[in-house]
Amino acid sequence: ARWRAASSARSYSRCPNPSRLVEVDPAKANEWTEGKALLATGSPFPPAKTPNGKDYIIAECNNALIYPGLGFGAVLSQSRKLTDTMILAGAQRLAALSPALKDPDDALLPDFEDAPDVNFEVAVAVAEHAIQEGVAGVEWPKEEVRRRARELQWKPVYPEYEYDPSGEV
């Protein structure tokens, strides 16, 4: 089935993995809606052209941009549960990081290379909300949550190894 959206309103289309099984080609959705569709896919796609000829970056929507932050925020706040409103706080923080807010022709979601920073922000929002909601096991002031998150954030630092053909350590 072909998907079409009303050209007078912003619409959202989800295009799942893998690319060859996509329900709608994001470039066609962009064309059909005259550039008014908010597009995110489950796989990488090339940019689509906007009506003004600019490239529209097709966002890749994946769990990697929110789930690590949801989990880290719950652990950070020592929350007894992950409430719907904590998830909403994380989703709202992710939405606030949308490049399209600065440039409507830009991607709907941040780039994957920004995932560590995005998830840090999601975690802070989740932890702050858990404390505000009273389900956290800590009682930090809002200003302290970010500092605590920085202290506890895992940094992928790997030592450099040298190959020793003789097998000596």
Per-residue pLDDT, 85: 97
Global pTM value: 0.76
Q: pLDDT band for 168, please (50, 70, 90 cuts).
A: confident
Per-residue pLDDT, 169: 61
Q: Are residues 96 and 110 in the same domain?
A: yes
Q: Are residues 36 and 117 in the same domain?
A: no
Q: Are residues 81 and 54 in the same domain?
A: no
Q: Are residues 74 and 125 in the same domain?
A: yes
In a domain, 8, yes or no: no
In a domain, 1, yes or no: no
In a domain, 166, yes or no: no
In the chain, the N- to C-terminal Cα span, in Å, equals 62
Segments forming the whole domain that contains residue 81: 63-152
In a domain, 94, yes or no: yes
Q: Are residues 38 and 84 in the same domain?
A: no
pLDDT tens by residue, 79-130:
999 999 999 999 999 999 999 899 887 888 998 889 999 999 999 999 999 9
User: Over 80: is that where the pLDDT of 53 sits?
Assistant: yes
Q: Are residues 34 and 92 in the same domain?
A: no
User: Over 50: is that where the pLDDT of 30 sits?
Assistant: yes
Number of domains composing the chain: 2
Q: Strand 37-41 to strand 59-60: parallel, antiparallel, or no bridges (unpaired)? A: parallel
> Of 149, 68, 70, 156, which Cα lies nearest the Cα of 115?
68
Percent of the chain with pLDDT over 70: 88
Per-residue pLDDT, 35: 84
8-state DSSP, 58: P
pLDDT tens by residue, 139-166:
999 999 999 999 999 888 888 888 888 8
